[in-house]
A and B are shown apart, each in its own frame.
Chain A
Amino acid sequence: GESVGLHLPTLSVQEGDNSIINCAYSNSASDYFIWYKQESGKGPQFIIDIRSNMDKRQGQRVTVLLNKTVKHLSLQIAATQPGDSAVYFCAETGTGGYQKVTFGTGTKLQVIP
């Protein structure tokens, strides 16, 4: 069935290092992917998105890579900072309507000072 999932529940990274958060999806018809950051007590915050006709997209300190062959996407955060500590969700939309976002289970990123 349609699902978006994450490989690791928790990721600990030293401050200044790069972080890589991975995500797998099962629906080959998925055509739009989004990464969200959720800090404690807050709603999800949009980070970056990518369409299925792309394999890489860069933002400020973040890069999303999409591998449609193996149905995998990743979020890379450069020079991780303490403020990056949060839960990160990959999400998919488009197959059920662009407002119906299917979220993965989330990865908690812990930045070690």
Chain B
Amino acid sequence: KAGVTQTPRYLIKTRGQQVTLSCSPISGHRSVSWYQQTPGQGLQFLFEYFSETQRNKGNFPGRFSGRQFSNSRSEMNVSTLELGDSALYLCASSLSGEERNTIYFGEGSWLTVV
């Protein structure tokens, strides 16, 4: 059974550009969430999607957005990139999120903003 798959693994962008990251959850998982990991702030929750609807949102500016497709795959977008957006972006999936389902993480997408 394939795990959570994230693409691309590494990317470099310039300030002011926008970026889209993709996540394919484990087969059968309907809940997808995104996290940002930086040395200074640690792991922080961005948002969570279930059945194509954003169900939870963390404390990030509106430049960070996401969506989920009918096949549960998800994308997140960051517009008008800033140097501080350089981070490891992690996607996680679980069965539903209504109960304490185990949350599985992908390997992450390393974003460097220059």
Task: Give the interface of A toward B (CB within 8 A).
Answer: 32, 34, 36, 41-46, 49, 51, 89, 93-94, 96-106
Contact = CB atoms under 8 A, between A and B. Distances in A.
B109 to A, nearest CB: 10
B31 A99 contact: yes
Contacts of A36: 105
Given A43-B90, A103-B42, A103-B43, A98 B107 contact: no
Nearest to A6: B42
A93 B48 contact: no
Contacts of B42: 103-106
Contacts of B108: 42-43
Contacts of B55: 97, 99
Interface in B60-114: 90, 92, 94, 97-108
Chain B interface size, under 10 / 10 to 19 / 20 to 34 / 35 or more: 20 to 34
A43 B43 contact: no
25 contacts: A32-B100, A42-B108, A43-B4, A43-B90, A43-B106, A43-B108, A45-B105, A46-B103, A89-B43, A93-B100, A96-B56, A97-B48, A97-B56, A99-B33, A99-B48, A99-B56, A99-B94, A100-B48, A101-B33, A101-B43, A101-B92, A101-B103, A103-B42, A103-B43, A104-B42
A100 B106 contact: no
B96 to A, nearest CB: 9
Q: Is the interface of A mostly helix, strand, loop or mixed?
A: strand
A46 B94 CA distance: 12
A106 B88 CA distance: 15
Contact of B97 (A51, A89, A99): A99
